[in-house]
């Protein structure tokens, strides 16, 4: 499957959002 630039960017954004959410949850626990 050939990923388009758009798909790649979308994947990156989604994964960084998940990481960001995880970081925020960690901060909220403390």
Quickly state the pLDDT bin for 5 (edges 50, 70, 90). very high
Distances (CA, A) of 28 to 2, 12, 22, 23: 39, 24, 10, 9
Count of the separate structural domains present in the chain: 1
pLDDT at 1 over 80: no
Structural domain including 19 reads: 1-30
Q: What angle do CA 12, 16, 19 make, to 5 degrees?
A: 145
**pTM strictly above 0.85:** no
- What is the structure's pLDDT at 4? 94
What number is the average pLDDT over the span 8-28?
96
Task: Report the sign of the C-alpha dihedral through residues 10, 15, 16, 18, in that order.
Answer: positive
């Amino acid at each position: 499957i050939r990923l388009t630039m758009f798909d790649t960017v979308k994947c990156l954004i989604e994964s960084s959002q998940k990481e960001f959410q995880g970081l925020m949850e960690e901060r909220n626990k403390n």
